[in-house]
């Protein structure tokens, strides 16, 4: 009797980190820096392998970004969300990370039509109410099964989140320098906050 092959589930892994939370001085005193959230997309399970205790943690790149394009490789799948620092949210504070994570994927949802589950890996600590809202909101907006994982210092423990951290820092530095082409250069990757 022939056996049925079990279809392997297609999972989208999303590593998320943010810039310096919109803080910091700039060369232009009138320039208020936005909070820059970055999501890196991957289908490779090795990208979400957590560094175990005793293993060397991943370094956070803060100055030399010349290998960033090589690290992003051919994937070029990432999104950026800019939120004005001090933005008056029209929703509860507990909803912020849920809206941010879903927004980062929403613009590109058609590219991931065949994905069965989306797993979000976010640097930082969040309360149970925030995690529940994040999973429910993403499930509703993206029409996919979702899981939300978070941990302090995940950017030094997981390659995908480490790369998101590096890209967020790179973008923050570019914006901080007041580079005029910042928005034009990354407009195809810009997501919009779902309210």
Question: At 28, which CATH number?
Answer: 3.30.420.10
- The whole-model pTM stands at 0.85
Note whether residue 1 is domain-resident.
no
Q: Which domain holds residue 32?
A: 11-189
Q: Please state the domain count of the chain.
A: 1
Note whether residue 101 is domain-resident.
yes
Q: What is the 3-state secondary structure (H, E, C) of the chain?
A: CCCCCCCCCCEEEEEEEECCCCCCCCCCCCCCCCEEEEEEEECCHHHHCCCCCCCCCCCCCCCCCCCHHHHHCCCCCEEEEEECCCCCCCCCHHHHHHHHHHHHHHCCHHHHCCCCEEEEEEECCCCHHHHHHHHHHHHHHHCCEEEEEEECCHHHCCHHHHHHHHHHHHHHHHHHCCCCCHHHHHHHHECCCCC
Note whether residue 195 is domain-resident.
no
Q: How would you write the pLDDT of the chain (195 residues) with one tens digit per residue?
A: 555 555 678 999 999 999 866 454 444 455 567 788 999 999 999 999 998 877 777 777 767 777 777 677 755 589 999 887 666 567 787 888 999 999 999 989 898 989 999 999 999 999 999 999 999 999 999 999 999 999 988 999 999 999 999 888 888 887 777 766 666 778 888 888 887
Note whether residue 15 is domain-resident.
yes
């Amino acid at each position: 009797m022939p056996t049925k092959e079990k279809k392997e589930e297609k999972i989208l892994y999303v590593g998320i980190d943010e810039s310096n939370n919109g803080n910091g001085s700039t060369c232009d005193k009138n320039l208020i820096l936005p909070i820059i959230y970055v999501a890196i997309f991957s289908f490779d399970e090795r990208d979400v392998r957590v560094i175990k205790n005793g293993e060397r943690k991943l370094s956070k790149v803060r100055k030399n970004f010349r290998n960033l394009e090589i690290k992003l490789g051919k994937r070029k799948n990432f999104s950026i969300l800019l939120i004005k620092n001090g933005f008056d949210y029209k929703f509860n504070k507990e909803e912020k990370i849920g809206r941010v994570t879903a927004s980062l994927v929403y613009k590109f949802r058609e590219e991931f039509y065949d994905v069965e589950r989306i797993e979000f890996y976010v640097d930082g600590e969040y309360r149970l109410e925030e995690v529940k809202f994040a999973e429910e909101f993403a499930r509703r907006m993206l029409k996919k099964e979702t899981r939300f994982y978070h941990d302090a210092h995940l950017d030094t423990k997981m390659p995908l989140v480490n790369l998101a951290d590096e890209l967020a820092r790179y973008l923050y530095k570019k914006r901080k320098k007041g580079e005029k082409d910042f928005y034009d250069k990354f407009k195809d990757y810009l997501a919009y906050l779902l309210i």
